Amino acid sequence: MKFASLKEGGRDGRLVLVSRDLTRAVDASDIAPTLLAAVEAWEEVEAELEQRYQALNRGELDSAFAFAPERTLAPLPRTWQWLDGSLFLSHGERMQKAFNLDPIDGADRIPLAYQGAGDDFIGPRDPVALPSEADGIDFEGEFAVIVDEVPLGCTAAAALAHVRLIVQLNDVSLRALAPREMVTGFGFVQAKPSSAFAPVAVTPDELGDAWRDGRVQLPLQVEWNGERFGNPFAGEMHFGFHQLIEHCARTRRLSAGSLLGSGTVSNANPDVGAACISERRAVEMIEFGEPRTSYMRFGDRVRMEVLGPDGGSIFGAIDQQIVQAGGTS
């Protein structure tokens, strides 16, 4: 199934089902008012949602309407918990080499993760408003899973049964603010503003063979100001999502609707490009001794999309502009 949240009905939007080809949608709010409500009651609502989804794809619903991504919020506009990992070792290794950093002990055995803010996610076509270009504005293309309730001590072997939905996101980062927050050991606050999401959340079966070993086995297409930036393959994750879930649930349960991210998609081969500016700068530092790519400016646009084997869009596209925030209140 494919889901979106329309900009109607309140802060959490109105839940709709979206056709497999992303052209049509139908209201699902009579079954579950929001996506969070659907995930929290998944076993009770799944069958009815699936029945309506199949009818939508067969063209049997007179109530269906044209799907417009610009009318959507993030699929899950806010949730209880956002846990973001760093599951692509090539990214960390490249950053360590560029900045002469000591390797993190056990990074190849224990997933890295921090707890971010899940209260204010951004829609796929909404502008990203930020205070200053001097903060080092960067995009980060990544994937995340939305789980139902995960019990304390859940093993990796059992974890994938709790994955209800997969999403693609732009984890906006402010690189000039990150170093101090990293050395404090308290995690990110200012360096990680609100993340933006592709319009559609999908159930794992929608990916077919491209969902395997707890990984999305597809490339992520990233463009910056209309030019190709990279198309790294997401299947190169060192840790699968099942291992991240096990790590995060080691000492506590995860509530239904918890969102767990992969970290920026990265490949060992630099020729595929990158999913964030920081990694391109690291490659330049290794090759030339200095970075040659600047961070984003106000007015810049970033676009991210995942295409399936048939060339169709899986999650829809993130396509958004960076703008200056209009002041504080």
**Structural domains of the chain in order of their starting residue, each with its CATH number:** 2-71 (no CATH), 82-324 (3.90.850.10)
Which two three-digit tokens encode residue 239?
Answer: 């840790």
Do you know the residue count of the chain? Answer: 329
Which two three-digit tokens encode residue 84?
Answer: 């973001």
Q: Give backbone dihedrals phi and psi of 210, rounded to 5 degrees, phi first.
A: -80, -5
Q: Which is more confidently placed, 183 or 207?
A: 207
SS3 category, 82: strand
CA distances from 236 to 95, 225, 231, 252, 280 (A): 17, 26, 12, 28, 18
pLDDT band at 196 (very low <50, low <70, confident <90, very high): very high
Please report the beta strands in 171-272, taking only residues with DSSP state E, as ranges in sequence order.
173-174, 196-197, 201-202, 211-212, 215-216, 221-224, 227-230, 259-261
Residue type, 242: H
- Choice among 88-92, 147-151, 165-169, 261-265 with the minimum mean pLDDT: 88-92
Q: How far apart are CA 6 and CA 259, in angstroms?
A: 20
Q: Is 62 exposed, middle or buried (0-12, 13-18, 19+ CB in 10 A)?
A: exposed
Is beta strand 227-230 parallel, antiparallel or unpaired with respect to 2-6?
unpaired
Q: How far apart are CA 88 and CA 244, in angstroms?
A: 12
Which two three-digit tokens encode residue 79?
Answer: 């949730």
pLDDT band at 328 (very low <50, low <70, confident <90, very high): very low
Cβ atoms 136, 245 nearer than 8 A: no
Cβ atoms 24, 56 nearer than 8 A: yes
Residue type, 307: L
For the segment 46-58, what is each residue's pLDDT rounded down to a tens digit? 999 999 999 999 9
**Mean pLDDT across the chain:** 95
Paired strand residues for 202: 2, 166
Q: How far apart are CA 104 and CA 268, in angstroms?
A: 18
The mean pLDDT of 87-112, rounded to a whole number, is: 89
User: Which is it for the CA torsion 225, 317, 12, 186, positive or negative?
Assistant: negative
Q: How far apart are CA 45 and CA 203, in angstroms?
A: 14
The pTM score is 0.96
Cβ atoms 311, 320 nearer than 8 A: no
